[in-house]
Amino acid sequence: MCAFASGAAHVAAQDSLTTRCESAPIAALFKVFGDTGRMPPDLGRFLQSAALQKVEPYQAFDNVHYVGICWVSAWLITSPKGHVLVDALYGPYTQPMLDNIHKLGFDPKDIRQVVLTHGHFDHAGGAATLKAALPAARFAMTAEGWREAAQSAAESTGRPNAWTMIDPDMVLTDGQVLQVGDIRLQAFETPGHTMGTASFAFDAFDGGRRHRAFTVGGLGLNAIKGPEQVEAFIASLRRIRALTEASSDPVTTHLTTHAFSNGLTESKELLKGRRPGDPHPLVDPTGFRAQLDELQSGAERRLVAERDKKAN
């Protein structure tokens, strides 16, 4: 898989998005947004279009399923004794996410744990809807993530896309392991995208083979408040990269929070024609490292700019 997140500049950003969910043009438009701070008209239309956001849910691994939308991921990790949901989506897309879970043959009420990567609306904005719909579920974020989410929700008051945040439930700490049935989900505090961002490692099974999967909680530098935050982001990227090179049980699979960021949208299509014995198309440690390296290169350039800004 290619790292589209910061390397799609060769795609003409002004190109209109098609009715398909395609990684490269979406990433190019987000790059323009990140570089200029101005929303390209095509990107705004894309984000507001329920038709363009619709993605059919699919089984990525035996126990891991994609239930998100085009531009924001949500992952359902399943077990016979309860499920884990990674991120809550937002606004008009949280209920369709629950519908996606039904389509895959699971009952959302069997979700025992919802983990939220960070407090931005696109990942946490649906928490209140889920809280009402999932009576057996606990909700978990880092302490700073809870604070950031509450602040972001409060700042949305009076705006067209205003949202509310639930009260803090479980507070995640670095290295903490959450157990649901036979699911073991390990949390990592990975500040940078926001200072409260968490990432998660868990096992993904493919037949009799186990792969170590990882969801990076935040991929962009679109909410930076100074060089210290960029420094934290770089440190987090280095830490995650080290997990892909561990001598024991290395991470091999990036189940991303934004499918366009690493070409997941296209790679998952290879699952449809996969034959017995074929390698799993989402197991790609080399591609994951390339994405992390590209993110770090961009962050190092941003760090220079932020330091210059602070000095002046």
Q: What totals of helices (H) and strands (E) does the chain contain, helices first?
A: 10, 12
Q: Which residues contact 101 (CB under 8 A, 6 or more apart)?
A: 57, 65, 67, 76, 107, 108, 111
Give whole-number Cα distances, 5 to 55, 111, 261, in Å.
20, 31, 4
Q: Provide φ and ψ at 38, rounded to 5°.
A: -115, 130
Q: pLDDT value at position 32?
A: 85
In sequence order, what DSSP letters do the residues of 168-234 get, joined into one string?
P-EEE-TT-EEEETTEEEEEEE--SSSTT-EEEEEEEEETTEEEEEEE-S----SS--SHHHHHHHH
* The predicted structure's pLDDT at residue 5: 37
C-alpha span between 8 and 273 (Å, rounded): 27
What's the pTM? 0.93
**Which domains are assigned to the chain?**
24-43+54-270+282-311 (3.60.15.10)
Q: Output the pLDDT for position 17.
A: 57
Question: Nearest-CA neighbor of 88 among 69, 106, 74?
Answer: 74
How do the pLDDT tens digits run along the chain, 312 residues long? 333 333 333 333 344 555 578 999 999 998 888 777 688 899 999 999 999 999 999 999 999 999 999 999 999 999 999 999 999 999 999 999 999 999 999 999 999 999 999 999 999 999 999 999 999 999 999 999 999 999 999 999 999 889 999 999 999 999 999 999 999 999 999 999 999 999 999 999 999 899 999 999 999 898 889 999 999 999 999 999 999 999 999 999 999 999 999 999 999 999 999 998 899 999 999 999 999 999 999 999 999 999 999 998
Give the Cα separation of 218 and 141 in Å (integer). Answer: 13
The token pair that represents 1 in the structure block: 């898989």
Closest CA to 284 of 301, 303, 263, 304: 263
Number of residues that this document lists for the chain:
312
Supply the pLDDT for residue 53. 96
CB 199 within 8 A of CB 244: no
